[in-house]
């Protein structure tokens, strides 16, 4: 999973990136502090995998990972190449989802960029540039589809009609993700790799006082929440500076500090959970003395395709999957005990994988 962190200059993108990844990217009070995108790999915290590692003491421990990309700040006119516009837009296209950082506090010591006014107008500025970039791409695609339809290509005619409707929708300043369409049309639009069709999480960046007082009491956060609800996106309150401070602590100190503040999860853990839900992702687990590992798949994936995540031969020669739910295994303590109680199931090709399935795939490459 690759998540792009975007937003106007000086909203806290690089500070949040550093808090999430401990990558030490430069974060300074001037536009375009970030030019080349900073990239950080983060392991996904998973207590289930930790417990399996305690039981098996494996040679190798392999959690799921997320790649965060801190992308240069966007400004008005980016779709026409202003600022670092073209590079910025290209970097976003290579991500699975967008984390849009929006500033929800005032600080005389941190300058607002000239494009920045308030949380909602900041979102609108970024959205407009993404929409304009998408419209340019869609108009090129429409020309091609219309030319192909003249030869009697029915698929091209349907595509042209769909793109024309989408262009009219987006000409009103609306994103592709909010376009009303049926599942088949949604698949065609998804193939276009539109910036405004990517899932989005708004990270409402509050200062320490605002976060401590409760996000629900912050007017900026309230307005972002209303906007996100209207378009079916997610919003997550964060304090980037605070997250960076606790991220610099040793694990034991961090836990004690979070407990003292009544925090059950760090911003990273909440963001990962939100990202998995937004993208429809789950994890199944494999375990043994050689390795315990978490594998990320889309919700609804069937057993053979999940096996293919490990190796293509596993999918080609799939026979069956031996599966026990993590909670059942944890309650029993060992695989042997779970087997005695009949909790290990044999599942075939039509089985839909569930989050936390502890799995052993049986396959035969000669099949």
What tens digit of pLDDT does each residue of 341-364 get?
999 999 999 999 999 999 999 999
Q: Which residues pair with 102 in a beta bridge?
A: 204
Confidence class for position 24, pLDDT limits 50, 70, 90: very low
3-state helix, strand, coil in the chain (%, to 5): 45, 20, 35
Q: Whole-angstrom Cα distance, residue 229 to residue 225? A: 6
Query: How do strand 2-6 and strand 357-363 relate by DSSP bridges?
Result: unpaired
Q: Evaluate if residue 20 carries a pLDDT over 70.
A: yes
- DSSP H helices, the chain, are 13-21, 47-56, 85-93, 119-149, 154-170, 183-190, 208-213, 219-231, 240-247, 251-260, 267-279, 303-310, 312-316, 326-332, 335-340
Confidence class for position 51, pLDDT limits 50, 70, 90: very high
Picking from 219, 180, 176, the residue whose alpha carbon sits closest to that of residue 194 is 176
Q: Report the pLDDT value the prediction gives residue 89, as an integer from 0 to 100.
A: 72
Higher pLDDT, 38 or 215: 215
Q: Evaluate if residue 197 carries a pLDDT over 50.
A: yes
Q: Which stretch of 37-41, 157-161, 176-180 has the lowest confidence by average pLDDT?
A: 37-41
Q: Whole-angstrom Cα distance, residue 158 to residue 35? A: 41
- Asked whether 73 and 34 are in contact (CB, 8 A), the reply is yes
Q: Report the pLDDT value the prediction gives residue 27, as an integer from 0 to 100.
A: 39
If you average pLDDT over residues 78-95, what whole number do you get?
Answer: 61
The whole-chain average pLDDT of the chain stands at 85
262: DSSP letter: T
Higher pLDDT, 334 or 84: 334
Q: Which stretch of 104-113, 121-130, 145-154, 259-268 has the lowest confidence by average pLDDT?
A: 104-113
CA distances from 147 to 135, 150, 161 (A): 18, 6, 13
Q: Evaluate if residue 16 carries a pLDDT over 80.
A: yes
């Amino acid at each position: 999973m690759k998540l792009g962190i975007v937003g106007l200059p000086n909203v806290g993108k690089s500070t949040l990136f550093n808090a999430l990844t401990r990558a030490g990217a430069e974060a300074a009070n001037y536009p375009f502090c970030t030019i080349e995108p900073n990239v950080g790999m983060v392991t996904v915290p998973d207590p289930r995998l930790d417990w399996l590692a305690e039981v098996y003491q494996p040679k190798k421990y392999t959690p799921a990972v997320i790649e965060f990309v801190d992308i240069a700040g966007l400004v008005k006119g980016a779709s026409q190449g202003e600022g670092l516009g073209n590079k910025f837009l290209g970097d976003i296209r290579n991500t699975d989802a967008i984390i849009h950082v929006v500033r929800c506090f005032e600080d005389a010591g941190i300058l607002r960029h000239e494009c920045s006014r308030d949380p909602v107008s900041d979102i609108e500025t970024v959205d407009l540039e993404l929409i304009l970039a998408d419209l340019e791409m869609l108009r090129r695609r429409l020309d091609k589809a219309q030319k192909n339809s003249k030869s009697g290509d029915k698929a091209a005619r349907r595509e042209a009609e769909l793109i024309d409707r989408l262009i009219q929708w987006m000409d009103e300043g609306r994103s592709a993700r909010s376009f009303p369409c049926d599942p088949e049309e949604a698949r065609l639009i998804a193939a276009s790799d539109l910036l405004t069709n990517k899932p989005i999480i708004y990270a409402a960046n509050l200062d320490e006082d605002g976060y401590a007082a409760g996000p629900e009491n912050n007017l900026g956060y309230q307005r972002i929440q209303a906007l996100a609800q209207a378009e079916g996106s997610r919003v997550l309150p964060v304090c980037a500076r605070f997250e960076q401070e606790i991220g610099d602590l040793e694990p034991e100190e961090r836990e004690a500090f979070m407990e003292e503040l009544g925090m059950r999860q760090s911003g990273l853990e909440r963001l990962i959970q939100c990202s998995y839900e937004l993208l429809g992702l789950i994890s199944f687990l494999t375990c043994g003395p050689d390795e315990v590992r978490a594998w990320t798949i889309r919700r609804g994936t069937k057993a053979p395709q999940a096996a293919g995540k490990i190796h293509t031969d596993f999918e080609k020669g799939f026979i069956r999957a031996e599966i026990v739910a993590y909670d059942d295994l944890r309650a029993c303590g060992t695989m042997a005990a779970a087997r005695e109680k009949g909790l290990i199931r044999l599942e075939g090709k039509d089985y839909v994988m569930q989050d936390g399935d502890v799995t052993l795939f049986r396959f035969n490459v000669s099949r």
